[in-house]
Amino acid sequence: MIALLTIAFIISGPLFANNDLASVVKLEQSISGTHDFNFFSDGKTFPMNQVIKASSCQVQVHTYAKGIGQVYSDKYDMIRHFTYRMPGEDRGTYGTYVGTKSLLKGKWKILYNDKEKRDVMASKLRKLSFLCKKINIRKHYRKIQKESKEEVDWVGNLYNGDLHTGSKVNTSVENKIASLDGRQSFIERIKSLENAQESIYLQTMIFRGDRPGIYIANKLMEKKAQGLDVRVIVDALGSGPMSITQSEVDKINSPKMLNNLMAAGIRVFGFNCDGVKGFRGLIRDEISGIDVTKLIRRHHEKMWIVDSNKISESSITIVGGINLAQEYFSLTGEHRRSWKDHDLGVKGPIIRDFKERFLSNWVEFSVNFKSYKKDKKCFNSFDPVTQKEEYQEFKKEHTLAYVQYEKEEDIEADKIIEENLIKFLDGEKHLENIFLNEDIRYREVDGLRVVHSDPEAGENYTHDAYVKMINRAQKSIHLANAYFNPPKDVVEALKNALKRGVKVKFYTNGEKFNAQPLFTYLGRSYFLPLYEAARDSGHEDNFEVYEWDGTRGDREDPMVGSTHVKYMIIDGLFGLNGSHNLSHSSMHNSEILLLFEGKEISRDMIDQFEFDLEYTEKITPEQMKEFKTPKRLKDRIRNFLFKSLAGKLA
């Protein structure tokens, strides 16, 4: 009976439309506002603040950690979402969930230290949710949402973010950036560790216990022992079982290395002390409630931030696609395991924006990570300077010995890696001609902006950056991305650019060297529609696509393995570089980009792009047609199955 009355009341919406609209506006005004609360975790108090803005049946909630900045952003559609109260107290707070996904994921809520205040807010949100679901109210606000257009504030060729979507464009003349290949990125990282004076913040998808990984870990432990603030965030699966190119010995040594960082007093989020026991221990804190989709949602950001509290000569950030493992730094002599990748070295005030992003991630992990009690098994809480004796004793007791390579081929490969590591650190440029071999050059820029995404918080700002910047292109687009299976709006943006006469050149992995071959087959299906967009608008020669095969010149054997790059240059003037892949997976991962404007750095990256094309095969229109509609039945079946699977993963 109650259900029938409720349905009848909702259907009768037209009779009460004006009163309902007034009630919605009044409720939204009372919901909007700001409040402070404290979150208690691991004996620590986190002073927090939430800003709530309700308008047009949309509720935005921005959560801040005082002294750090925004740590989470949520947007709820009250036409679709329902409101729930958190059953009880959680670490000093009482919360209200909005939306079933928030309930299942156990992510951020509207939080209060006072239960009565929580109950008042929950009641208001329930009333708003009820009103917004009425037919006339729903139609009214859906029409407004459909007709509203986003206003973009451009500073030169870069667009501004607001308080909640990322940093502003930074035009300081003190900012400088450098184009870095894998070898150069490794050199800059080691130099930055040696020069570090006060802090080292590191976030990466993969931190492997191979020779360069352990070398970096040892440097981090040295700096921690000197009293520096050293913090590490890794992805639990990426630094564990999902690291596809690691050896059996590396699989054993990686959790041991992370354990040893903890034993040296370096907190590693994404790892717990049970992680050395294998897969189950390592990912236990990754899965919350019954949200198994977390298994395909990775912490994919890559930031290396040194001395960011006070900008000085030793201050630097490195951002891009490079993980901390030997193949990314091109250290191995086995070229099939040596990848091509790209980073940007960053100096100047913009480093503070990277610091804010890292610390916001740090606070989020601090609040949500649930293994503090277990981590007492291996985490060294003693101060390395004021409690030196206790610190060293704990470290010695809890440091684990690494397993040594036993297979002859692994021993030989590790020897080559060690020799190349020494060459790199000694400044030797050449390594069998797989690098452009230019010196590291920091270039002045007209503007920089940090853009980040956390899809669980409703953010896809790195994806938006690609679309906005492609739409701004007037002359040329140089695009390099390891995986090409883009969402529809990226494809449409590229088509529209081709139709207005923009020359588009891009390369991606070919079938032979794609670490995820699925993306090669999926990506190839977009080549022909893009070519046709150029041809049909009279610009047939404006579209060029290449597939990476690692072979240069007349050589039949590959000189380098997969490419892992993710960058774009527009009109030879501005561009971006970071962790975002042009695939549906990056719509589910946390990502980070650096947008830049500057002729010299753009020229450096185009030079790198053209150099990389020597290791690719140009795809002809005839090949594009075959990729789109294969002649062989087994290829058609394969494409159908892969497209179906991609739809499931997306």
Return the closest-CA partner of residue 595 out of 206, 169, 230, 296.
169
Burial (Cβ within 10 Å: 0-12, 13-18, ≥19) of residue 8: exposed
**pLDDT tier, 430 (very low <50, low <70, confident <90, very high otherwise):** low
Confidence at residue 631, expressed as pLDDT on a 0 to 100 scale? 65
Q: Please state the CATH superfamily assignment of the domain spanning residues 446-649 in this structure.
A: Endonuclease Chain A (3.30.870.10)
Structure token digits, residue 132: 């917004």
Round the CA-based radius of gyration of the chain to a whole number and report it: 26
CATH topology match: 176-425 vs 446-649: yes
> Are the CB atoms for 254 and 207 separated by under 8 Å?
yes
Q: Is 318 helix (H, G, I), strand (E, B) or coil?
A: strand
Q: Give the model confidence (pLDDT) of 630-647 as tens digits.
A: 666 666 666 655 555 544
Select the highest-mean-pLDDT range: 1-10, 430-439, 451-460.
451-460
Condensed to tens digits (0 to 9), the pLDDT of residues 278-299 reads 445 445 544 443 334 455 567 8
Q: List the one residue out of 438, 537, 534 whose CA is nearest residue 494.
A: 534
Return the closest-CA partner of residue 366 out of 53, 48, 73, 22: 48
CATH architecture, domain defined by 176-425: 2-Layer Sandwich (3.30)
**Cβ(223)–Cβ(230) below 8 Å:** yes
Residue 432 has pLDDT above 80, yes or no: no
Of the candidates 25, 81, 80, 50, the residue with the CA atom closest to the CA atom of residue 164: 50
**pLDDT attached to residue 142:** 66
Q: What's residue 287's pLDDT?
A: 46
**Structure tokens that stand for 540 in this block:** 């047939």
pLDDT grade, residue 104 (50/70/90)? Answer: very low
- Strand 199-204 relative to strand 229-234: parallel, antiparallel, unpaired? parallel
What are the residue boundaries of the structural domains of the chain, listed by start? Answer: 2-147, 176-425, 446-649
pLDDT band for 301, please (50, 70, 90 cuts): very high
Residue 133 confidence class, pLDDT cut points 50, 70, 90: confident
Using DSSP bridges, classify how beta strands 476-481 and 566-570 pair: parallel, antiparallel or unpaired.
antiparallel
8 A C-beta contact, residue 339 and residue 167:
no
Residue 366 has pLDDT above 80, yes or no: no
pLDDT (tens digit, 9 = 90+) per residue, 568-627? Answer: 999 999 999 999 989 877 777 889 999 999 999 999 999 999 999 988 999 999 999 888
The three-class DSSP label of residue 119 is helix
Instruction: At 276, list the tokens.
Output: 């050395």
Of 496, 583, 487, 584, the closest CA to residue 543 belongs to 496
Whole-angstrom CA distances from 35 to 60, 121, 365 are 14, 12, 22
Q: Give the burial string for 269-287 (b: 16+ CB within 10 Å, else e).
A: bbbbbbbbeeeebbbbbbe
* C-alpha distances in Å from residue 438, one per residue of 166, 175, 347: 33, 21, 19
DSSP 61-91: EEEEETTTEEEEEEEEETTT--EEE-SS-BT
According to the model, what pLDDT value does residue 371 have? 59
- The pLDDT confidence band at residue 277, using thresholds 50, 70 and 90, is low
DSSP-derived pairing of the beta strands 543-548 and 503-509:
parallel
Is the pLDDT score of 242 beyond 70? no
Whole-number pLDDT of residue 627: 80
136 band by pLDDT with thresholds 50, 70 and 90: confident
**Sign of the dihedral defined by the CA atoms of residues 57, 100, 285, 404, in that order:** negative
Helix (H) or strand (E) holding 20, with range, is helix 17-31
**Span 255-265, pLDDT tens digits:** 999 999 999 99
- 17-31 and 115-132 helices, crossing angle to 10°: 150
- Alpha carbon of 399 to those of 132, 199, 256: distances in Å? 57, 23, 8
The listed range with the strongest mean pLDDT (263-272, 300-309, 510-519, 632-641) is 300-309
**Residue whose structure tokens are 């009976």:** 1
| C-alpha 148 chain-centroid distance | 29
Q: Which residue has the higher pLDDT, 270 or 477?
A: 477
Give the contacts of 292 (CB within 8 A, at least 6 positions apart).
none
Tokens 């309700």 locate to 54
Q: How many CB atoms lie within 10 A of CB 106?
A: 17
Q: What is the dihedral of CA 353, 357, 358, 364, to 10 degrees?
A: 160
CB neighbour class for 585 (10 Å; exposed up to 12, middle 13-18, buried from 19)? buried
Cβ atoms 97, 129 nearer than 8 A: no
Instruction: Tell me what the mean pLDDT of segment 482-507 comes to.
Output: 95
Contact 292, 285 (CB under 8 A): no
- Contact criterion met (CB below 8 Å) for 346 and 598: no
Q: H or E segment at 95?
A: strand 94-98
Give mean pLDDT, residues 374-401. Answer: 93
Confidence of residue 78 (pLDDT cuts 50, 70, 90): confident
pLDDT band at 73 (very low <50, low <70, confident <90, very high): confident
Average pLDDT of the chain?
82
User: Which residues are CB-neighbours of 277 under 8 A, at least 6 positions away?
Assistant: none
Residue 409 pLDDT grade (very low, low, confident, very high; cuts 50, 70, 90): confident
What's the pTM? 0.81
Looking at the structure, give the CATH architecture of the domain made up of residues 2-147. Roll (2.30)
pLDDT band at 12, cuts 50/70/90? very low
